[in-house]
Amino acid sequence: MSDQIIGLHHWFDSPPGRYLLAWEQARFDEAVADIFGYHSLQLGMPLLDGLRANRMPHQWLAMGQEAVEGSIAFVETEDVGLMQRRAVDLLTEPVALPFPAASLDLLVLPHTLELSIDPHAALREVERVLVPEGRVVISGLNPTSLWGLRQRRARLYQRLGRGSLYLPDVGEFIGYRRLRDWLRLLNFEVESARFGCYRPAVRSAQWLERFGWMDPLGEKWWPILGAAYFLVAVKRVHGMRLLEPAWRTHRQRAAGTVPIANRASLQGVSPSRPTPSAARHKPRAQSFAVAMGLHAPP
């Protein structure tokens, strides 16, 4: 496992690796900028700062014991244009996180599942530590892409004793549809998904620049064939009801008040119009009063 992690980090220092790293860094910055909460955690990949655009007060970077040789990990890339230094806060494995249940608001997994010994168990652990409506952001290499096709061809050539792999040897890549099915089984809902990096599987930076026109065309015409995928999923809890603030409930009740009914309206009689019997006996009552001399006729 340590050889796979070292190989992945070395590959990200190559021209195609820097190209992919720059694309993923931009996607993470866009996704986590508007996710609010208190506690966030990034699992693995110190070469990419998946939480730098997030504003949560408590942010941690966790890595496995085999992936850390010191307390500081850094990388300098031309595409990103900065020196990223990120201290490793804790050593842990994705399948056994040292956090209580429902304690984290955001988890970032850049290529974490590809390097995990049990990716499905790692997802179950993510579901355990996330709060209801918490979010997990995942990136991975797409096996159904030009890069994945070259990787499979290179594996075939290696069996024949020649050639080398284009992508790092990290075992079996997890496709987007397969990962989406895993998330659904754990009551996650995919909020957004995106593919990227449509340039051919070439090694030189010069050829990658020449094929830069393929990125906008790929997003429009063959979006699911990108070299990498990126998704945001939210943890749903069935039967949970979010309570509204008391002031909002009071305002809704005040706006829906009903006037008190009077006696006339309850009897179905309008108070402004006399009943037929009263109108019929009114002239007889007036003539009787005139005959008795009680008052003069009007």
- In this prediction, residue 234 carries a pLDDT of 98
> CB atoms < 10 A from the CB of 152, how many?
11
Whether 253 is in a domain gets the answer no
- In this prediction, residue 207 carries a pLDDT of 93
Express as a percent the part of the chain with pLDDT over 70: 70
- What does the pLDDT average to over 216-236? 95
Q: Mean pLDDT of all residues in the chain?
A: 81
Distance CA 134, CA 240 (A): 14
CA distances from 21 to 66, 75, 245 (A): 22, 11, 43
Residue 195 backbone phi and psi in degrees, to 5 = -115, 160
Is a pLDDT exceeding 70 seen at residue 251?
no
Q: How confident is the model at residue 99 (pLDDT cuts 50, 70, 90)?
A: very high
Whether 295 is in a domain gets the answer no
Distance CA 63, CA 152 (A): 29
Whether 298 is in a domain gets the answer no
- What does the pLDDT average to over 91-116? 94
Is a pLDDT exceeding 60 seen at residue 289?
no
Whether 286 is in a domain gets the answer no
Q: Which residues contact 64 (CB under 8 A, 6 or more apart)?
A: 1, 5, 44, 91, 92, 93, 94
Q: At 229, which helix (H) or strand (E)?
A: strand 228-235
> CB atoms < 10 A from the CB of 165, how many?
15
Check residue 110 and report its DSSP letter: E
Whether 266 is in a domain gets the answer no
Tally the domains of the chain. 1
Q: At 136, which helix (H) or strand (E)?
A: strand 130-141
Range of the domain at 6: 2-235
Rg value, the chain, Cα: 35
Whether 15 is in a domain gets the answer yes
CATH number reported for the structural domain that contains residue 205 in this entry? 3.40.50.150
Q: Are 166 and 147 in contact (CB under 8 A)?
A: yes
Amino acid at position 257, single letter: T
- In this prediction, residue 127 carries a pLDDT of 97
Residue-wise pLDDT tens digits, 114-168: 888 899 999 999 999 999 999 999 999 999 999 989 888 888 887 787 777 788 7
CA distances from 120 to 115, 148, 155 (A): 12, 22, 25
Residue-wise pLDDT tens digits, 31-54: 999 999 999 999 988 889 999 999
- What does the pLDDT average to over 52-63? 95
Specify the higher pLDDT residue, 155 or 174: 174
Whether 252 is in a domain gets the answer no
Least confident range from 18-22, 34-38, 80-84, 194-198: namely: 80-84
Is a pLDDT exceeding 90 seen at residue 76?
no
CA distances from 286 to 272, 277, 278, 281 (A): 21, 15, 12, 9
Tokens of 280: 């019929």
Is a pLDDT exceeding 90 seen at residue 199?
yes
Q: How confident is the model at residue 255 (pLDDT cuts 50, 70, 90)?
A: low
Whether 11 is in a domain gets the answer yes
- Residue 60, strand partner residues: 41
- What does the pLDDT average to over 189-201? 96
The distance of Cα 2 from the centroid of its chain, to the nearest Å, equals: 30
- What does the pLDDT average to over 205-220? 94
Express as a percent the part of the chain with pLDDT over 90: 53
